[in-house]
Amino acid sequence: MARRYWLFKSEPSSFSVDDLLGAPGRTTCWEGVRNYQARNLLRDNVKKGDGVFFYHSGARPSGVAGICVVTRSGYPDDSAQDPNSGYHDPRATGGNPIWYMVDIRLARKFTNVVPLSLIRNTPGLENMVLCRKGNRLSIQPVAPSEWRLIQRLAGTLR
């Protein structure tokens, strides 16, 4: 299977690209996804070696803040089984973990966030899942052409 591309959303007030920059090995587990559609992607489709856009939501501005690489494919999100975690789900067990996560490593933090407003106005990006009305999916597929275009945009913002 060829390398695939994704976009992961995070509110920077909760976990930002700078938090990942400061993490050991610039690596983190992407815990806490509690939506079944996003869960299915993490469990079944996001694979080691895939590319990830780190997206800041609820930010000023919201937009793509950097590029990551998946370093571990989907595995059970054990925060669901931790009563002390904010992500605890009492239904999750070892035999039925329900929720899944992957590990990602920050490859590059963009000098400037590529803002959503620019993405919306850039030909070739208007059909991104990100731009679709009402979209709330926190794990999204990104087309190879979109992957290249956004990196080119990031270069123009330097």
Partner DNA sequence: GCCAACGTTGGC
Which residues are at the interface with DNA (CB under 7 A)? 9, 11, 35-37, 57-59, 62, 116-117, 120, 133-138
Closest separation in Å from C-beta 106 to DNA = 20
Q: Nearest CA to 80 among 10, 15, 31, 29?
A: 31
Identity of the residue, 10 or 28, whose beta carbon is nearer to DNA in the bound complex: 10
Q: Nearest CA to 139 among 90, 68, 83, 81?
A: 68
Closest separation in Å from C-beta 1 to DNA = 26
Identity of the residue, 69 or 139, whose beta carbon is nearer to DNA in the bound complex: 139
Closest separation in Å from C-beta 75 to DNA = 20
